[in-house]
Amino acid sequence: MTIKEKTIIIYRQSDPKSKPKYERYKVPLTPGMTVLDALFYIQDYYDHTLAFRYSCRGAICGSCGLTINKFPQLACKTQVDPIELKKHARVPELIFGELSDWDKENEILIEPLPNMTIIKDLIVDMKPFWIFYREVKPYFDREITDVAPESSQTFEDARRIEQLVYCILCGLCWTCPVSGKNKNYLGPPALAKAFRFIDDTRVSNEHRKVIYDKAMQENSVSACEKIFACNAVCPKGVMPGTAIDKIRKLEKK
C-alpha cells in the first residue's frame, strides 16, 4: 500500500535578525490530520528545533494562529487533506520571505501571523496584542462597581453580546492592514473586546465610560479604515470590524 504524502513548506527564521528561509518537508497523511499534527510530525521526525505555538488542539485556546496558504487560520482547526485555498477580497496579500516556486495545488505553505515581529520560525511576539488588550480593561471590576459576573442577565442581553464572547484572542484579526502600518493602533481584537464589555448590562456606567473613552482615543476606533479584513479571517465569527462600527455609532447617539 502506498502512503499518501503531502509536502509542507515552512517559513524558518532562527531569530528576529536572521535571514528567513523556506524549508520543505514530506509528511505522510493520516485521516483527519490537521496542520498542527503535520507540524508535530515535522518536529518529531525532521527537526526538533522547529518552533510553533499550540495548547488546546481544539480551536479554543487561540495559540496556534498561523498563515496557512496565505490566509490566517488556526492550525488545529485546518485539515491537511483536502485543504481549502482560502481567499477573500478584504484580506491583503501577505508577504513574509522570498518564495518563487510554491506549487499552490500540491504544497501547503505555512508562515507566521502577519504584522507581528517574528521571534523564531512560526512564533511571533504577541506583546503589543496583550498590551492593547489590557488597555481597554476587558473584565468585570468591582472596584468600579460592576455587579457581574454573578448577577444575571436577560436572555436577550446575553444573546446581544454572545458573538463577541466567542473571541479566543487568537490574533488572526491582527492581519488588519491598519495594525500593519500603525504600531499604536489598538487593533480589532482589543476593540471587539471593548464593545463586548461596553454592551454588557452587568458593567457599571462608570466602567463602561472608562472602556468607551479608551476605544475613542487616538489610534483606536477613528483609526479603523473599515477594511473588514478582521471580519473575514476571524475563526469564531466575532466580526470585530462590525463591533468597531457599533462603537463608532454610539458616538452619534
Is residue 244 part of the contact set for ligand SF4 (CB under 6 A)? no
Alpha-carbon torsion, ordered 70, 170, 237, 71, to 10 deg: 0
- The candidate with the shortest Cα–Cα distance to 36, out of 96, 77, 86, is 77
Helix axes 187-198, 240-252, angle to 10 degrees: 60
CB of 86 to ligand FES, least distance (A): 17
Residues 83, 108 contacting (CB under 8 angstroms):
yes
Considering beta carbons, is residue 41 or 187 the nearer one to ligand SF4?
187
Is residue 33 part of the contact set for ligand FES (CB under 6 A)? no
Is residue 114 part of the contact set for ligand SF4 (CB under 6 A)? no
Q: How many other β-carbons are positioned within 10 Å of the β-carbon of residue 91?
A: 21
**Would you call 216 exposed, middle or buried from its count of C-beta atoms within 10 A (0-12, 13-18, 19+)?**
middle
Is residue 113 part of the contact set for ligand FES (CB under 6 A)? no
CA pair distance 172, 229, nearest whole angstrom: 10
Strand 5-12 and strand 107-111: the pairing is parallel
Task: State the binding string over 59-88 for ligand FES (x if CB under 6 A, else -).
Answer: xxxxxx---------x-x------------
Considering beta carbons, is residue 45 or 139 the nearer one to ligand SF4?
139
Is residue 169 part of the contact set for ligand FES (CB under 6 A)? no
Is residue 126 part of the contact set for ligand SF4 (CB under 6 A)? no
SS3 category, 238:
coil
Residues 81, 38 contacting (CB under 8 angstroms):
no
CB of 189 to ligand FES, least distance (A): 14
Residues 197, 208 contacting (CB under 8 angstroms):
yes
Is residue 95 part of the contact set for ligand FES (CB under 6 A)? no
CA pair distance 237, 225, nearest whole angstrom: 20
Considering beta carbons, is residue 108 or 168 the nearer one to ligand SF4?
168
Considering beta carbons, is residue 59 or 250 the nearer one to ligand FES?
59
Considering beta carbons, is residue 122 or 244 the nearer one to ligand FES?
122
Contact partners, residue 164, CB within 8 Å, separation at least 6: 192, 193, 195, 196, 199, 238, 243
Contacted entry of ligand SF4, ligand FES, none for residue 238, CB cut-off 5 to 8 Å set by kind: ligand SF4
Task: State the binding string over 38-57 for ligand FES (x if CB under 6 A, else -).
Answer: ----------------xxxx
| Omega of the bond leading into 235 within 30 degrees of 0 (cis) | no
Contacted entry of ligand SF4, ligand FES, none for residue 60, CB cut-off 5 to 8 Å set by kind: ligand FES
Binding residues for ligand SF4 (CB under 6 A): 167-173, 188-189, 192, 233-234, 236, 238, 240
Please report, as ranges, the residues that interact with ligand FES according to CB under 6 A.
54-57, 59-64, 74, 76
